[in-house]
Structure 1
Amino acid sequence: MARKGYHHGNLKEALIKATIALIEDKGPTGFTMAEAAKAANVSAAAPYRHFSGRDEIIEEIARQGFEIFADLMEYAHRKSQPSALAAFEATGRAYLAFARKYPGHYIAMFESGVKITANPDLTAVANRAMNVLTQAAEDLCKHLPSDKRPPATMISQHIWAMSHGVVELFARGEPGARSPFSPEDLLESGMGVYLRGLGVIEK
């Protein structure tokens, strides 16, 4: 008897969807391929038609996540033009919004141990997201004299790290539930202190 849960040609996406739910519920290492197959309502052998194992499914989920993430970053940056500061701040908020809306993808991207540089497609799409933030930093620093202009890549990496820290500590359950400040307020104030310290914006 044919199994239900996916239509012909939709097996790959059914497995990905089921695995995302398992990642959100059990973490990236808390389930087996057999459990992913069961969650997708397919045979234990079915996942191997598309993936060599759990790590490869997680890698594909990470790639899809970076595609979504880069699209959100680009949209946030574009819609906040022509204000360079507003565009820069919007990319930070987009980071928080993505982590909230796509927790399974976020975990696959940043908490699964997936080796981004080992996969050219994954590397390219991850770089696309970082490049949006770097471009926003370049735009923000254009008014500074060249000898006083901090490297845009350094700024983008610092803000990426700050955004990631806010997500991990305050935007994904505990201990965030105990924070008297919203993740958005924490990130915005942190960005302001950082940019003022560099002289990028006025004190």
Structure 2
Amino acid sequence: MADRKSYHHGNLRQALVDATAALVEESGPQSFTLTEAARRAGVSPAAPYRHFKGRDDLLEEVARQGFLEFADRLEAAFDDGRPNPMTAFLRMGQAYLDFARERPGFYMAMFESGISITGNAELARASDRAFGMLVRAAENLFAEMPPDRRPPARMVANHIWALSHGVVELFSRGKPGGRTPIAPADMLESGVLIYLRGLGVLPG
């Protein structure tokens, strides 16, 4: 078994993380057990306790790794605001949807598992890094506006995050076109543009 081989090479911790992400993708973040994760990783039921205190501790590590990869993708999409702030901002929305589609187990652990992000310092730092990319992009977007007209960047980042998550939950899951014929990427982009126009960032 490939996972057992990885474990024998000292990668038990990562094997358990990957196994858990796969289980979460298959059946959701609430239904997996440490025993199932151990079985999927090809180790004994007691093996996970060498690295994790329990089920939530393992789930938090899945979420932490997810946030780190998520932040990397957002940073790459932002690309220092090139070729212009609006293009970079919208590109980050596509990166959000791509991550949710391509890494569903990690995404669900991050946003749908009910874990306490603030109760785990490393997890909180990873989450803050991802959110910080949205704040940075918003600041970049408003940089040319008069200071007294700039919307609060953290508020905008929170609203865009909520909008992106809503599109994932309502329109990116299940059969394409099941709820609407509009593609999730188009749904998100139009929503972002309407929102920014309402803030006065874009002309009417």
TM norm structure 2: 0.93
Q: Which residue of 2 aligns with 1:90?
A: 91
Q: Which residue of 2 aligns with 1:9?
A: 10
Is the CA contact (8 Å cut-off) linking 1:51 and 1:57 kept in structure 2? yes
Distance in 2 (alpha carbons) for counterparts of 1:108 and 1:31: 11
Say if 2:139 is the partner of 1:138: yes
> How far did 1:143 drift?
2.0
> How far did 1:175 drift?
8.0
> How far did 1:79 drift?
6.3
Distance in 2 (alpha carbons) for counterparts of 1:182 and 1:121: 35
Q: Which residue of 1 aligns with 2:181?
A: 180
> How far did 1:50 drift?
0.6
> How far did 1:65 drift?
0.2
Is the CA contact (8 Å cut-off) linking 2:67 and 2:126 kept in structure 1? yes
Greater mean deviation of Cα atoms: 54-63 or 23-32: 23-32
Q: Which residue of 2 aligns with 1:37?
A: 38
**Quick one: which amino acid aligns to residue 174 of structure 2?**
G
**Quick one: which amino acid aligns to residue 162 of structure 1?**
L
Q: Which residue of 2 aligns with 1:71?
A: 72
TM norm structure 1: 0.94
Is the CA contact (8 Å cut-off) linking 2:81 and 2:140 kept in structure 1? no
Q: Rate the CA distance shift 1:154–1:34 in 2: closer, same or farther, 3 A.
A: same
> How far did 1:199 drift?
0.7
Distance in 2 (alpha carbons) for counterparts of 1:129 and 1:16: 20
Q: Which residue of 1 aligns with 2:169?
A: 168
Is the CA contact (8 Å cut-off) linking 1:169 and 1:175 kept in structure 2? no
> How far did 1:15 drift?
1.2
Distance in 2 (alpha carbons) for counterparts of 1:98 and 1:176: 19
> How far did 1:174 drift?
5.3
Distance in 2 (alpha carbons) for counterparts of 1:147 and 1:138: 14
> How far did 1:40 drift?
1.3
Q: Which residue of 2 aligns with 1:147?
A: 148
Secondary structure at the residue paired with 2:29? coil
**Quick one: which amino acid aligns to residue 169 of structure 1?**
L
Secondary structure at the residue paired with 1:113? coil
Q: Which residue of 2 aligns with 1:106?
A: 107
Aligned residue pairs, count: 201
Report sequence identity in percent: 56
> How far did 1:4 drift?
3.8
Distance in 1 (alpha carbons) for counterparts of 2:147 and 2:40: 56
Greater mean deviation of Cα atoms: 168-177 or 87-96: 168-177
Distance in 2 (alpha carbons) for counterparts of 1:4 and 1:127: 34
Unpaired runs of 5+ residues, structure 2, are none
Distance in 2 (alpha carbons) for counterparts of 1:113 and 1:176: 28
Distance in 2 (alpha carbons) for counterparts of 1:85 and 1:50: 43
Which runs of structure 1 show a deviation greater than 2 angstroms over 4 or more consecutive aligned residues?
3-8, 174-178
